[in-house]
């Protein structure tokens, strides 16, 4: 029997998804929990690996087992042995032809960014941070150069193991949610005439593509923020893309605000497309 699981996790405490000798990865903890519940080793295959500090709202994994357990038993049983910041959200039997990675038609990421004169505290590790105001129109214009099929070598980490840097970016959406003011409102009262306070807000960047290279989203974020701050014009993104060189792009942005939203599958598999965590994300 082949089982698919939807797994969510806060990545702050872990060295990424993929199993490592240290044992401190999300995959290591998930397989240990599955093994304790099933009383046998259960290796898993995931839809997309995430780096250290990156979060997952719906990582999808599959595994094969001879055990005949109700789907809900896999959820409750696994969660009994998982740390509090990792949880199986759903479990479902799937045909043997299903493969969590190979059957994915696209993958989705979101980056949540706090724009504020003061660094994050309660949300530390869960959001990125900038203390300069960002220009939404400039970032939107820069993002449009990335849509479609391209060689994304300029946004590829040196250790990337992908066979090809050519990927297709289906969608990039940028939105902003204003906050109540907070430190920005307090700072405004001390401003001299003619000065403008930095507005406090959350930015959300969503990416959907055929697949992503190692550090690709974080490297794109570095470029978008540079454009948003006015360091480069939107056309610079086209030049970075055409260079096909990592040296042409901005530094890799922090992993803190990056969330793997999960893969996209054909409806024939009947798998969920979201989890409850989607409603929490700003």
Active site residues: 51
Phi-psi domain of 108 (left: phi exceeds 0; alpha: psi -120 through 50; beta: other): beta
Those residues whose C-beta lies under 8 Å from the C-beta of residue 5, and which sit 6 or more positions away, are 44, 60, 61, 62, 63, 74, 75, 78, 88, 89, 90, 91
Those residues whose C-beta lies under 8 Å from the C-beta of residue 29, and which sit 6 or more positions away, are 14, 82, 83, 86
The residue among 133, 146, 200, 201 whose CA lies nearest residue 172 is: 146
Q: Is 25 in contact with 16 (CB distance < 8 Å)?
A: yes
């Amino acid at each position: 029997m082949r089982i698919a699981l939807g797994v969510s996790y806060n990545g702050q405490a872990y060295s990424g998804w993929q199993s490592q000798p240290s044992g401190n990865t999300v995959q290591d903890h998930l397989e240990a929990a599955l093994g304790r519940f099933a009383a046998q080793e259960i290796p898993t295959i995931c839809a997309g690996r995430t780096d250290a500090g990156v979060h997952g709202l719906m990582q999808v994994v599959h595994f094969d087992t001879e055990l005949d357990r109700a789907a809900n038993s896999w959820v409750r049983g696994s969660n009994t042995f998982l740390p509090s910041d990792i949880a199986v959200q759903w479990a479902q039997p799937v045909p043997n032809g299903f493969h969590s990675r190979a059957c994915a038609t696209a993958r989705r990421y979101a980056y949540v960014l706090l724009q504020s004169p003061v660094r994050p505290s309660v949300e530390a590790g869960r959001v990125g941070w900038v203390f300069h105001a960002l220009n939404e129109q400039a970032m939107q214009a820069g993002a449009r150069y990335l849509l479609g099929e391209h060689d994304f070598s300029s946004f590829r980490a040196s250790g990337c193991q992908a066979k090809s840097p050519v990927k297709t970016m289906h969608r990039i959406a940028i939105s902003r949610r204003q906050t109540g003011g907070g430190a920005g409102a307090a700072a405004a009262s001390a401003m001299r005439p003619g000065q403008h306070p930095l507005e406090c807000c959350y930015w959300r960047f969503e990416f959907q593509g055929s697949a992503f290279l190692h550090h690709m989203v974080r490297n794109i974020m570095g470029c978008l923020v540079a454009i948003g701050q006015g360091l480069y014009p939107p056309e610079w993104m086209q030049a970075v893309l055409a260079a096909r060189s990592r040296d042409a792009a901005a530094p890799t942005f922090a992993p803190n605000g990056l969330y793997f939203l999960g893969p996209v599958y054909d409806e024939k598999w009947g798998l969920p497309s979201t989890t409850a965590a989607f409603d929490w994300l700003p």
